[in-house]
């Protein structure tokens, strides 16, 4: 069992160097989306397949990931209908950290988010985002992938 410590930001302006990077297509669907930040998702990233359980909300969450076979993924995928996201992920350095920038497709087209994982909560608090990062939406559950998969791009309402 692992703990994920991650901050998430909207992206103000795409960095110019993004054009030089190769992104990885990701299909992600949710089998369970429950109260309290509990989710069970499946994901295809390139030619690999995963099942992930996440528990909790906010900056620090429990995460358990298991690799699936393509056949297991194929059998589960239909059960995610209506709870899916499609995106291209770019991995890039940001200072001493690695950021994952997601450009969403389909119904979420136009949405761009960037996440940075940290080894400790203190390290996450000391992080100074570069100018191309936008608003910090770490604590805004409307920007969690599970919420995006079910409700789409957030408006001005509060969930």
The DSSP annotation for 24-62 comes to EEEEEEEEEEEGGGEEEEEEEETTEEEEEEEE--SSEEE
pLDDT of residue 30: 97
pLDDT one digit per residue (tens) for the chain, 159 residues: 589 999 999 998 888 888 888 999 999 999 999 988 899 999 999 999 999 999 988 888 999 999 999 999 999 999 999 999 999 999 999 999 999 999 999 999 999 999 999 999 999 999 999 999 999 999 999 999 999 999 999 975 444
143 is catalytic: no
**pLDDT tens digits, 10-55:** 998 888 888 888 999 999 999 999 988 899 999 999 999 999 999 9
pLDDT of residue 159: 42
Alpha-carbon radius of gyration of the chain = 15
* Burial class of 150 by CB neighbour count within 10 A (0 to 12, 13 to 18, 19+): middle
pLDDT of residue 20: 87
Domain at 2-151: CATH code: 2.40.320.10
Q: Which of 77, 127, 85, 126 is nearest to 105 (CA)?
A: 85
**pLDDT tens digits, 25-35:** 999 999 999 98
Q: What is the pTM (predicted TM-score) of this model?
A: 0.90
pLDDT of residue 34: 92
How far CA 142 is from CA of 47, 92, 130, in Å, comes to 29, 24, 23
CA distance 148 to 136: 16
CA distance 15 to 13: 6
List 30, 90, 143, 151, catalytic entry? 30
How far CA 84 is from CA of 25, 41, 81, 150, in Å, comes to 14, 9, 7, 7
Chain mean pLDDT for the chain: 93
* Burial class of 87 by CB neighbour count within 10 A (0 to 12, 13 to 18, 19+): buried
């Amino acid at each position: 069992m692992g703990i994920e410590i991650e901050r998430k930001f909207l992206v103000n302006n795409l960095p110019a160097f993004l054009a030089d990077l190769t992104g990885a297509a990701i299909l992600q669907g949710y089998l369970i989306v429950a109260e309290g930040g509990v989710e069970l998702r499946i994901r295809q990233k390139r030619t690999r397949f995963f099942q992930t359980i996440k528990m909790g909300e906010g900056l620090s969450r429990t995460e358990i990931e298991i690799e699936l076979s393509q056949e297991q993924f194929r059998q589960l995928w239909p059960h995610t209908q209506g709870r899916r996201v499609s995106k291209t992920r770019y991995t890039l350095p940001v200072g001493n950290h690695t950021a994952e920038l997601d450009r969403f497709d389909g119904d979420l087209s136009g949405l761009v988010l960037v996440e940075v994982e940290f080894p400790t909560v203190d390290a996450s608090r000391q992080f100074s985002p570069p100018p191309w990062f936008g608003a910090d939406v770490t604590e805004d559950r409307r920007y969690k992938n599970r919420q995006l998969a079910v409700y789409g791009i957030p408006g001005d309402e509060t969930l």
